[in-house]
Chains A and B, each alone.
Chain A
């Protein structure tokens, strides 16, 4: 019996060349619009059970006892597991620090921590049985902020830390600390004619991908398990799962199921180990699907942050210095916190020339929900703060905010605070110029001969205003994001490419472990294969662990790194194909030996355009296959004291202009337009590039005016784990998003491309905030902005 919904190969042809630079359509598009595309929650197996996780109802407590008797006695229940049932001594997992218990061991550290597992023959039976498990807690004081974390009598969130950060952090409740010092801030401050300071607050944002955490674990005859799963990185999951199960990695087969969005929220494990444990215990396939309530507890969020900034400038508008301190709340477990600290610190100065800096970023351990990766990854919080600072400085100097930014904009050759030179185009001033040059939307669009169209006004169909009290504002922002994994990480990808003749036509097959999460990586892989191998038809093999790691679908890196690996493997296949051609036909035409040869239109051609032969004749029934790892330029760790080091692979830049209308009486905001200009190096698929920019922009809009996970500061419990109470932008909240794409090649990257996905999420938020400040004259030092912040009733 096969698992239903297992992914199959998709072969895509093309009527045009279908290579890079064209807006070819998604190979999985038809499956997705017909409902046939199988997401991880769609998996089904004869005789399968449903898994359910019991989660803690308190944030910080010792577990006095767990009584599973009544749950186990429930008809239809096949297994109930707690910490005591774990099969090996490896009982924790984690991306970098293995501090996260698979099931709570004597203690829970945050609201919603997994405590026990149930498998039953119906999801409702499993839910009801889980509710019958009796857990007695003895509550402990909660650590919720920096003050409570580093208090002299603070309870340690993790006792006996032995990770590699403990040696350099000032307190065990600090996960990681990264200072960056360059130049001499005290001296530079003396040159400043104006100094501005600010204390900024960034709320906890949720990735809110629509496809819930889910998967199907099928026990296999060899004692292993096959996991069909939605994730961002199959091999990272595998490395964490196998030791807990007590299985060698080769006995844990992983296949990527359809992924309903990710945005960083699937970097950490969720239900993977739980489903495998239940499947191995019961000997039956086990499916786990979170509902939305559980999803809010089942993945890490974007770090909320407190950011203190000081900037100085001369009266002619040149930055003199910058000091900042960024405190990120990592919550109960480390997740990606150390890398988020590295990003927040190294990108804290923004895309500006400022030679004298004194920077510190830390991430706390608290009893709040764990925080980790989300699109923008540490750079988002910093951008919100430094862009507010730029507006404050411009205002104090009486300068135009865009002109002030352009005056200080970095360019190719500028040194980062880490001392790393930006060694590819950095068109910061040009992006600002372009976004400002776009035509502004007309004023008072809501006016018509029949009166106000309330749908166009703040409050919409709630009919709260017909234009009374409505004011318009315009704001600008620009940001800088790194692309790829940084700080010396071995950030490689693997691609396996095969070429053979099928039905008289050459077909390339691309097999990688890349997680397609919606971004369109599979579209781009087919394009690269067509460009490099001159074929029309490309087969995309399902992603699994039968091929080497493709790294994470994170850090805007997949088109660069796995795309680079596919390009490299294609080039190696091409060489082998040409070798076969030379062997077979070299004696018939001297160009086989002397000319630069290409594969185009299913033929071998010279760079002069002469056709030497058909690929079908060269290959006949031979298949050529290459599997090869590919690496971008290596990076270095940041010095733990000075923060110096060539830590990043590539930088990515976007600028936004926001136009808002605010009902000042009710504090309601309508974003009228959110224009973006971004440099993408080379748009491999322009349609997908624009889709990424518009999607990222909208997530930035969300955290500007509505999205925040509210955590009770007294109990550390989550107050709004639902789409009823955690709001993400609807189509009514989202304005038109005109996009201007610039393509300045980065000579270090494949095809000159620049990672696209994250940069637009950075500058969107501060642009909206700047526009609201411009409309209302209010200072607004926190995001998201809620009505009470605009009406003075907070």
Chain B
């Protein structure tokens, strides 16, 4: 079958999709967007978290056909999505609290600039994950970024308990979660300071 839907603000079309294919498979294998990850493919790990009409879902549990005519945001589109939201636009679904301008920053930490990322514009949550040391192997990172961004969209000043609850569907095996907590706190603080 053919599936038409919007991915990261662009209309996309996938052909020859077998009815049993998941949204995750179509994103990764047919649309060249492997950023959403395949750690369990059974809805337990959250590494494939994407926004479907604004709602965070496990893309592995969504049949590709269910995405027909809908809007999907993946980690690849997170920076644009955050920028449009900050500018008052709305890439997909409900925008929630409008975020401050200037949340968008180039990919440079306090001490290091990566040439590989020079010129790459990142969302505040993406930058905070790098700065706080929340990325090790990075396989859980795309799902955590989408989930964290969604949390900060609806709750700009989350308590620690709020963060833990919002991210409880995302497994990480490397970090022990402490630096992930730091990253979300950092993104929230920068956001409230308007930097």
Contact = CB atoms under 8 A, between A and B. Distances in A.
A731 B177 contact: yes
Given A33-B129, A210-B45, A210-B173, A24 B111 contact: yes
A584 interface: no
A461 interface: yes
B97 interface: no
Contacts of A26: 130, 135
A209 interface: yes
Contacts of A208: 173
Nearest to B165: A455
A32 B135 contact: yes
A677 interface: no
Interface in A1-50: 4-5, 8, 10-16, 18, 22-39, 41-42, 44
Given A27-B116, A455-B165, A690-B133, A723 B171 contact: yes
Given A23-B133, A260-B138, A517-B137, A212 B39 contact: yes
Interface stretch (A318-326, A398-406, A732-740, A775-783): A732-740
B171 A210 contact: yes
13 contacts: A4-B32, A11-B116, A26-B135, A29-B130, A122-B18, A210-B140, A260-B139, A291-B41, A690-B178, A723-B42, A731-B168, A731-B180, A737-B178
B28 A34 contact: no
A732 B37 contact: no
Interface in A678-732: 687-688, 690-691, 694-699, 722-724, 728-732
Contacts of B129: 29, 33
B34 A32 contact: no
Given A13-B112, A25-B131, A695-B175, A35 B34 contact: yes
A27 B120 CA distance: 13
A5 B29 CA distance: 12
Contacts of B78: 34
Given A11-B115, A35-B35, A695-B175, A732 B131 contact: no
A688 B168 CA distance: 23
Given A39-B37, A211-B37, 19 more contacts: A11-B114, A18-B111, A18-B112, A27-B112, A29-B114, A29-B135, A30-B116, A35-B142, A38-B34, A41-B38, A212-B38, A260-B37, A291-B38, A461-B165, A520-B136, A694-B178, A730-B171, A731-B180, A734-B178
A29 B115 CA distance: 11
A218 to B, nearest CB: 17
A599 interface: no
A456 B112 contact: no
Nearest to A36: B35
10 nearest A-B pairs in the assembled complex, by CB-CB distance: A35-B35, A30-B117, A518-B137, A260-B139, A32-B138, A694-B176, A698-B176, A723-B44, A42-B34, A518-B136
A30 B112 contact: no
B57 interface: no
Nearest to A456: B161
B126 interface: yes
Interface of A: 4-5, 8, 10-16, 18, 22-39, 41-42, 44, 122, 124, 207-212, 258-263, 289, 291-293, 453, 455-456, 461, 517-520, 537, 687-688, 690-691, 694-699, 722-724, 728-732, 734, 736-737
Contact of B168 (A11, A44, A730): A730
Interface in B154-193: 161, 163-165, 167-181
A537 B39 CA distance: 34
Contacts of A28: 114, 116, 138
Given A35-B142, A722-B44, A731-B170, A289 B38 contact: yes
**Which size bracket describes the interface of B in this complex?**
35 or more
Interface of B: 18, 20-21, 28-29, 32-42, 44-45, 47, 74-76, 78-79, 107-117, 120, 122, 126-127, 129-131, 133, 135-142, 145, 161, 163-165, 167-181
A124 B117 CA distance: 36
Contacts of A461: 165
Nearest to B47: A210
Given A26-B135, A124-B18, A209-B173, A10 B115 contact: yes
Contacts of B140: 210
Contacts of B45: 210, 292, 723
A25 B114 contact: yes
A681 B127 CA distance: 30
Contact of A12 (B36, B114, B139, B177): B114
Given A30-B114, A33-B129, A691 B136 contact: yes
Given A210-B45, A212-B38, A14 B117 contact: no
B131 to A, nearest CB: 7
Contacts of B165: 455, 461, 732
A11 B117 CA distance: 9
B117 A31 contact: yes
Contacts of A18: 111-112
A15 B113 CA distance: 7
A167 B111 CA distance: 57
Contacts of B142: 33, 35
Nearest to A688: B133
B137 A737 contact: no
A738 to B, nearest CB: 9
Nearest to A14: B112
Interface centre among A33, A208, A292, A461 (most CB of B within 10 A): A33
Contacts of B75: 33-35
Contact of B176 (A14, A32, A697, A723): A697
